[in-house]
């Protein structure tokens, strides 16, 4: 299969490309961040430019496009709402329209943050109530994709893994600081259902094989607090869990509001006979890749 991945230098996009390149012809679309000698073909493109986008699709001729590119810095979105709307809402809508016209299968990556987190255990039928500009524009992106291409997969996700900078995920934050013996805060009142990134990739591809369509929650069936997540990482890597200070998110000094209970139901995914792994299995994969020096390999792509 020929697969085009946007945002190929981001945490999800890069891991998608690396994982899928073992069995597929993968093209990674880049914007400003270049990659050095990755094991897949890279194409530089401005996704907001129609001519550049047409050229990208002509060069890659994908059977499947996985749209990971986004303005994902939550606080930056608060400061630049128009840019956030252009990237997180308008862009995926345009991509969905083009993919429909060209008969290209399309996966749009959204976020669990579309919910306000007051209730938790949300299904796809529950009404979102985004608290931040980031979450609001991602929800608008969902709506535009669904309106343009009803056969597209819209995946609400939460994931972690290794990135170019080593600073993009909560898992890296805990691991790097704990290895350095630094004290960090862990929020006890923020619940989530994260997947290790390659487990997310495997789940998305299982959805493609089963020809699923529409909106799905694609997260772990098990939830935990961000504090507990940090403790599990410490225990898994033999680090000092006492360096993690249990704190409330209200003490975090964050610009944008965060949702406290982002626990999502995956019943719809299970009905399709797809069940992502639980927290222990995901952390096992996270540690295995660490031992295999995946963080160093990924950082090398940045030079």
Dihedral angle over CA of 144, 148, 153, 156, nearest 10: 0
Measure the N-to-C terminal CA separation of the chain; round to a whole number of Å.
29
- Residue 216 among the catalytic residues: no
Question: Assign residue 219 a region: left if phi > 0, alpha if psi is -120 to 50, beta otherwise?
Answer: beta
Q: Which structure tokens are listed for 50?
A: 């129609």
Return the number of other C-beta atoms located less than 10 Å from residue 212's C-beta: 18
Burial class (CB in 10 A: 0-12, 13-18, 19+), 135: buried
- C-alpha span between 112 and 134 (Å, rounded): 11
Decide if 99 contacts 153 (C-beta within 8 A).
no
The H-assigned helical ranges of the chain are 11-20, 50-60, 74-79, 81-85, 91-102, 133-148, 170-179, 197-209, 226-236, 267-271, 279-291, 294-300
Catalytic pick among 134, 196, 216, 227: 134
Phi, psi of 209 (to 5 degrees): -60, -40
Return the number of other C-beta atoms located less than 10 Å from residue 303's C-beta: 9
DSSP 128: P
Residues with catalytic function: 134
């Amino acid at each position: 299969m020929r697969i085009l991945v946007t945002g190929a230098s981001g945490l999800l996009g890069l891991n998608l490309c690396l994982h899928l390149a073992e069995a597929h012809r993968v093209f990674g679309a880049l914007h400003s961040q270049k990659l050095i000698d990755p094991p897949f073909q890279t194409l530089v493109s401005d996704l907001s430019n129609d001519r550049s986008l047409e050229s990208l699709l002509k060069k890659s001729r994908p059977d499947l496009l996985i749209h990971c590119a986004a303005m994902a810095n939550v606080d930056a979105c608060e400061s630049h709402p128009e840019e956030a709307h252009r990237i997180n809402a308008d862009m995926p809508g345009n991509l969905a329209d083009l993919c429909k016209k060209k008969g290209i299968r399309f996966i749009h990556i959204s976020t669990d943050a579309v919910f306000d987190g007051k209730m938790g255990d949300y299904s796809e039928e529950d009404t979102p109530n985004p608290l931040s500009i980031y979450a609001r524009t991602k929800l608008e992106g969902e709506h535009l994709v669904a309106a343009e291409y009803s056969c597209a997969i819209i995946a609400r996700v939460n994931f972690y893994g290794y990135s170019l900078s080593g600073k993009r995920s909560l898992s890296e934050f805990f691991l790097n600081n704990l290895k350095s013996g630094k004290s960090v805060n862990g929020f006890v009142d923020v619940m989530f259902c994260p997947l290790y990134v390659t487990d997310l990739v495997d789940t998305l591809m299982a959805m493609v094989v089963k020809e699923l369509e529409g909106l799905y929650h694609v997260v772990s069936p098990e939830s935990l607090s961000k504090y507990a997540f940090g403790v599990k990482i410490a225990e898994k890597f033999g680090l000092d869990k006492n360096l993690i200070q249990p704190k409330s998110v209200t003490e975090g000094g964050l610009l944008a509001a965060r949702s406290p209970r982002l626990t999502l139901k995956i019943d719809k995914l299970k009905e399709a006979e797809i069940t992502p792994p639980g927290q222990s299995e995901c952390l096992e994969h996270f540690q295995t890749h660490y031992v295999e020096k995946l963080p160093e390999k990924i950082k090398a792509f940045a030079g």
